[in-house]
Amino acid sequence: AAIVEHVFHVKNVVVKPLCKEQMVPAVNGSLPGPTINVREGDTLVVHVINNSTYNITIHWHGVFQLKSSWMDGANLISQCPIQPTNNFTYRFDITGQEGTLLWHAHVVNLRATLHGALIIRPRSGRPYPFPKPYKEVPIIFEQWWDIDIGLLGIQPAPVSDAYLINGLAGDSYPCSKNRMFKLKVVQGKTYLLRIINAALNTHLFFKIANHNVTVVALDAIYTTPYLTDVMVLTPGQTIDALLTADQPLGMYHMSITPYTSAIGIPIPTNMTITSLLVYEGAATSSSPALPLMPALNDTPTAHRFSSSITGLAGGPHWKPVPDHVDEKMFITMGLGLDPCPSDTKCIGPVGQRFVGSLNNRTFVNPETVSLQEAYFYDITGVYTDDFPDQPPLIFDYTNFKLRTNSDYKMMFPERKTSVKTLRYNSTVEVVLQNTAIITAESHPMHLHGFNFYVLGYGIGNYDPIHDARKLNLFNPQMHNTVGVPPGGWVVLRFIANNPGVWLFHCHMDAHLPYGIMMAFIVQNGPTPETSLLPPPSNLPQCTRDPTIYES
Ligand code: C2O
């Protein structure tokens, strides 16, 4: 195992992906940011030097952070932000996982430009559980604004102006002509595509004209090989897929298009963004073949892709599903309304602001200290250990209608910093039930610090008898981020084997200010090795003035 070291200089730079110059924060001046390559078992050390004008943290999305929860980079949860002109060094081991992940800033909106690939290859001498590819190619989907959305503070971003593939908007936009990502391939060879959806707020379909791909990993855990002509990724999800250049010499579009299940959610007008697969020796005059993209609201295609893939039972890093459960939770997710603060302009139906909720709780970030320090140092008054195991009300989640006073209550969630404490090594099962309160859309729920088994997906209200019988306990797929279908449910299970404070939240960045999050506190185990260590001495401190990191 090696020590892999990087320096991240975060600075505001001037870029022009479309027609307009704008200033955005970037790592080492590049968009997307630098790719990190490690092998499983390595130690990663990243020195973050913040010379931007923003408070930032960097989160290593999907990394287990075993015994290193102080390095998780969740703003105000695992640490206070690194303020302008300050530095912080992240240092952690990468163990027990292989595949493609991403790193990104964990501050509302800043993830738009501060992100990059984090690629974990097997230890030296260990093969992939599939034939060795000829080459490996990161493919990063991004979302772009012609305004500096960092300046919005913690407001949810408006409709974006474009999507990018590896930093390039392609032919679909003014001023971006001839700036398209091109992948040159040799006929007959197989390529490993390391696909990352770094878009803030959009699920994306991905298709390559005339080609199928074989999915071999999701969220850096191997799957049973799955042959498909279309993929869908929620924000934060990653896919490793093999692509064989098995078609006639030519050029083929590789395209993305948004998937949105919600009615009335604004999306940009140019919907399909392309990159190009170019066979070596193909006539450059030939016109590229186009894939037929799914419709914007094609939930059946999205649901079929997401729910059909199974885990590679017995493969590298696979552990059998625990068959007993210690903690059972049923969590409803929805949007609700909240009285509008006097200094804000609110867009809710009767002048309120929209909020999100989990079990009718809207999460409020701590302000003067991180949640993890409050836990570690026993600082009272920062959070309450009372996140409910059930929603306050059982109702028809997917056909929500206001009938009684208590139904009405579900539209006005309680604002709180509440957490759920878990015993060390306990097995936790969570039924995530999407609701139709105000709007039904897919919410990609992301758990920090763990992969979870996805035992089942379904549409409608979860039925604890009938649906529970059909869960896959043998070879379920695993994820750190799972899209809970609109008006549907997901059942997940994980083992709380890593002491610390772990955020669980919707990975639609716009839903962070809405408070669709909660945190788990995993208690210490019986030995010093299974206990949370003290924080590093240079862990950034929050300023006393909370308005500073709200902007
Ligand atoms: Cu990729 Cu908490 O985020």
Contact indicator for 123, 42 with CB cutoff of 8 Å: no
Instruction: State the Rg of the chain over Cα.
Output: 22
The token pair that represents 133 in the structure block = 């590819």
175 is a domain residue: no
Domain residues for the domain of 502 are 327-550
342 is a domain residue: yes
Residues β-bridged to residue 257: 205
For ligand 1, whether the C-beta of 507 sits within 6 Å is: yes
For ligand 1, whether the C-beta of 6 sits within 6 Å is: no
Contact indicator for 86, 53 with CB cutoff of 8 Å: no
The token pair that represents 311 in the structure block = 């885990």
What pLDDT score was predicted for residue 410?
74
For ligand 1, whether the C-beta of 236 sits within 6 Å is: yes
Q: What is the mean pLDDT of residues 48-75?
A: 97
> Residue 547 pLDDT more than 50?
no
Distance CA 335, CA 410 (A): 9
Predicted confidence band of residue 449 (pLDDT cuts 50, 70, 90):
very high
Identify the residue with better confidence: 152 or 247: 247
Q: How remote is the CA of residue 523 from the centroid of ligand 1, in Å?
A: 22
Contact indicator for 24, 148 with CB cutoff of 8 Å: yes
497 is a domain residue: yes
Question: What was the ipTM of the complex prediction?
Answer: 0.99
Predicted confidence band of residue 549 (pLDDT cuts 50, 70, 90):
very low
For ligand 1, whether the C-beta of 104 sits within 6 Å is: yes
For ligand 1, whether the C-beta of 446 sits within 6 Å is: yes
Which is nearest to 200 in space by CA: 516, 515, 512?
A: 512
The 10 Å CB-count burial string (b at 16+, else e) for 276-300 is bbbbeebeeeeeebebebbeeebbe
Query: What percentage of the chain carries pLDDT values higher than 70?
Result: 95
Contact indicator for 41, 94 with CB cutoff of 8 Å: yes
Distance CA 28, CA 13 (A): 9
537 is a domain residue: yes
319 is a domain residue: no
For ligand 1, whether the C-beta of 115 sits within 6 Å is: no
What pLDDT score was predicted for residue 548?
45
Q: How remote is the CA of residue 76 from the centroid of ligand 1, in Å?
A: 13
For residue 496, the 8-state DSSP code is -
* Structure confidence by residue, pLDDT tens digits, 266-315: 555 558 889 999 999 999 888 999 999 999 889 899 999 999 999 999 99
439 is a domain residue: yes
Predicted confidence band of residue 53 (pLDDT cuts 50, 70, 90):
very high
What pLDDT score was predicted for residue 542?
93
Predicted confidence band of residue 348 (pLDDT cuts 50, 70, 90):
low
What pLDDT score was predicted for residue 280?
97
Question: Which residue owns the Cα nearest ligand 1 atom 3?
Answer: 61
332 is a domain residue: yes
Q: How far is CA 548 from CA 24, 219, 343, 346, in A?
A: 19, 34, 17, 22
Distance CA 288, CA 266 (A): 30
517 is a domain residue: yes
Identify the residue with better confidence: 512 or 94: 94
Distance CA 239, CA 216 (A): 8
Give the start-end residues of each E strand in 325-372. 327-338, 353-358, 361-363
For ligand 1, whether the C-beta of 74 sits within 6 Å is: yes
Q: How many domains does the chain fold into?
A: 1
> Which CATH number is 507's domain given?
2.60.40.420
Distance CA 45, CA 75 (A): 19
Q: What is the mean pLDDT of residues 13-25?
A: 90
Identify the residue with better confidence: 396 or 420: 420
The token pair that represents 146 in the structure block = 């012609």
How high is the mean pLDDT of the chain? Answer: 92
Q: How remote is the CA of residue 73 from the centroid of ligand 1, in Å?
A: 9
Question: Which residue owns the Cα nearest ligand 1 atom 1?
Answer: 61
